[in-house]
Structures are given as C-alpha cells and as structure tokens.
Chain A
Amino acid sequence: MSVQYYLYLSAVLFSIGSVGVLVRRNAIVVFMCIELMLNAVNLTLVTFARVNGSLDGQIIAFFVMVVAAAEVVIGLAIIMSIFRARRSASVDDANLLKY
C-alpha cells in the first residue's frame, strides 16, 4: 500500500462533500458537508506532513480544526436566528436579499 491512497481517499471525500453542498437544501446538512470537506483537507495535510517528514502539516491541520470549531459555532447560531425569523432551515427560504 502506498501513502498516495490517502490522498485519493481525501480527494473523493472532498468531492462528495462539495456535491453535498451543491445539492442539499437543509442548511445544517450543508454545514455537515462543509465539515466533511474540511476533514478531507486535514487528511491531505497529515499525509503530506508524513511524506515531507515535517510536522508543519499536522500543525496546520490542528489550526484548521480550531477554525472549523469557531465556524460551526457562528454558522449554527446564524442558522438558528434564520430559523427563528422564517421557521425554516432550508437555504432556499433565506432570500430576503434577492432582487
């Protein structure tokens, strides 16, 4: 088995996540798909850290996790306030800025 397989797996997971973001309507599921993409990128970073023999990739993956946690907190708060205003978590219903 070669280390490259991790990169292929990560590419596949990232693409699945991007399809989810494009296709799904429920804002929370869209958010989960974004998390999936971030996780896939983390796998790439860890794999490249191993390939290059340096720990910088692991540190960047660590920072990605921190930023993802902060982003989830804010994003879910926004989803909740949208849900309060419109009684819906669908991304199609938040169209006040349209036109």
Chain B
Amino acid sequence: MTGALLAAAGDTSTHEAVIFWILGPLSVLAALGLVLVRSAVHAAMLLAVVMMSLAAFYTAEAAPFLAVVQVVVYTGAVLMLFLFVLMLIGVDSTDSLVETLRGQRVAGTVVGLGFAVLLVIALAGTLGSFHARGVGVAEDGKGNVVAIAELLFSRYVFAFEATSALLITAGLGAMVLAHRERTEPRLTQQERMRERALRGGAAMAPLPGPGVYADHDAIDTPALLPDGGVAAGSVPDYLQVSGARPHVDDAERELER
C-alpha cells in the first residue's frame, strides 16, 4: 500500500524497484519467446505472461483501475478469443519456414533492432533525468477510479459515446464475417451412408472404440486388433498430431516385449 501511495506521489519505492526488476526482464523474455516459439498456443501463453506483468506495472504506477481492466479485458477476453480461434482453425497450425521473400526474416530482425536502438537512444537523449509528479495531483484525494470516472464522463464523454458505436460496429462486423450461408441442403444420414458405401473402403460400422483390452479408458487409449496391433482410427488424429499419446506408445511397447 505504501508503494502505491508513493507512486501516486510520483516517487519510486523499493517495492516498485523489486517488482520492476523481477517482472521487467520476465516480460522481455516472454515477448522474445512470443516471437521465437513455433506453436501458436505457446505464443498465446507467453503473451499472457507479458500482459499480467504489465498489469502488475500498472498497479505499481498507481493505476489500479487500468490494472484490473488489463486483466479482465486483455488477459480474460482478448486472449481467450485468440485461444478460441486457435482451436477453431487448428492447434497444429505452425509457421511455414519457407521464405517467400528472400532475406525477409533477417531484414525484419535488423529493422526491428535498429528501431529499438533508435528508440532507446532517443529516450536517453531527450528525457534526461526528470522528477515524476505522480497522479496524486490529479486524483485530488478522490481515489483513482472516481477521478477517472469524473474525467471520462466530462471531458472525454464524446469519445466514450463513440466507443459504444465502435463496439456495436465490431460486434456486427464479427457476426457478418463469421456467418456462412448454407448454399446446398443439409445431407441426411441416409445420404451420408449411401455416399460412404459408394466410396468404398470406409468403415461402415462405427470406428473402433478406445480401450479394448486396455487398462485405461482415456480417449487416447488405442483399441487393439485380434492380432494385437493398434487399430487405426481408434485414437483421434489431433492427439497423434500433438504427439500426446502415451497410452498408444505404452501399448506398442507392450506388444514388442
């Protein structure tokens, strides 16, 4: 609490320095990981780390309202939306390593590094060392949330109203973009079965269930054929893609013995 009071007054406390020097490097490492890891789900998790550290920085900088909004809106809503879309379009969608433009990766990295150096030099050159006044002046003893609300509903009220229009437009746009007209009538079960029989080679009976002769009833437990082999199709493809199939491996090892 004293740390937040000091921050409201503009000074930095030891608490704040500790928070900064722990979470600062952590957030930079997580951001680097976000750029470097191949799996999009891992990238989303690393982005969550960055966002939570930023929320901690906001509390340290006497902006508790923004810290809560950061956790609720960014980590809670935006990141979950990212994860939902990742699930919809396939978790295993990793980056292709083929370069369509030759040298684009190297050029991009060099440009980014140059930009970082430029920013840091500009900051060091223009800012010098200054004393922070602290938002306590503006809060006037009313507390962060009340002070923000007073500003938001007086000076920024038109921007706030425009925000509502923006959100409605965004919701409508998402509905329009995600909607798909059905162009042909829905296939009945009978038609599906006829198509399957005509195609041939497909299983007419249901696929083998998991866990025949197995000691687990987990979904990644394979069904075993009469000859002891693993029945194809008894374990969902996505479990095999992600490599998470300990029971399949166990069963195979068992069979080899």
Contact = CB atoms under 8 A, between A and B. Distances in A.
Contacts of B32: 16
Max count, chain A CB within 10 A of own CB: residue among B34, B44, B144: B34
Given A23-B109, A92-B96, A50 B61 contact: yes
B92 to A, nearest CB: 11
Nearest to B136: A53
Interface stretch (B171-179, B206-214, B249-257): B171-179
A77 B63 CA distance: 32
Instruction: Give the secondary structure class of B's interface.
Output: helix
Contacts of A22: 104, 107-109, 111-112
Contacts of B51: 39
Contact of A51 (B65, B113, B130, B170): B130
A47 B78 contact: no
A58 B65 contact: yes
A63 B157 CA distance: 12
B156 interface: yes
B27 A26 contact: no
Contacts of B133: 50-53
Interface string B47-90: 10011001001100111011001100110011001100110111
Interface in B15-38: 16-17, 20-21, 24, 27-28, 31-32, 34-35
A35 B151 CA distance: 26
A90 B98 CA distance: 11
Contacts of A63: 156, 159, 163
A51 B57 contact: no
Interface residues of B, number: 88
A16 to B, nearest CB: 4
Contact of B94 (A1, A26, A65): A26
B234 interface: no
Given A50-B135, A66-B163, A77-B173, A23 B54 contact: no
Interface in B186-237: none
B65 A54 contact: no
A35 B74 contact: yes
B35 A80 contact: no
A72 B171 CA distance: 11
Interface in A67-93: 67-74, 76-81, 83-84, 88-90, 92
A3 B130 CA distance: 8
Contact of A43 (B57, B115, B159): B57
B101 to A, nearest CB: 9
Given A5-B20, A11-B120, A72-B81, A53 B66 contact: no
B132 A55 contact: no
B244 interface: no
Max count, chain A CB within 10 A of own CB: residue among B20, B74, B111: B74
Contacts of A16: 28, 31-32, 34-35, 112, 116
Interface of A: 1-9, 11-20, 22-26, 28-29, 31-33, 35-36, 39, 42-43, 46-47, 49-56, 58-59, 61-63, 65-74, 76-81, 83-84, 88-90, 92
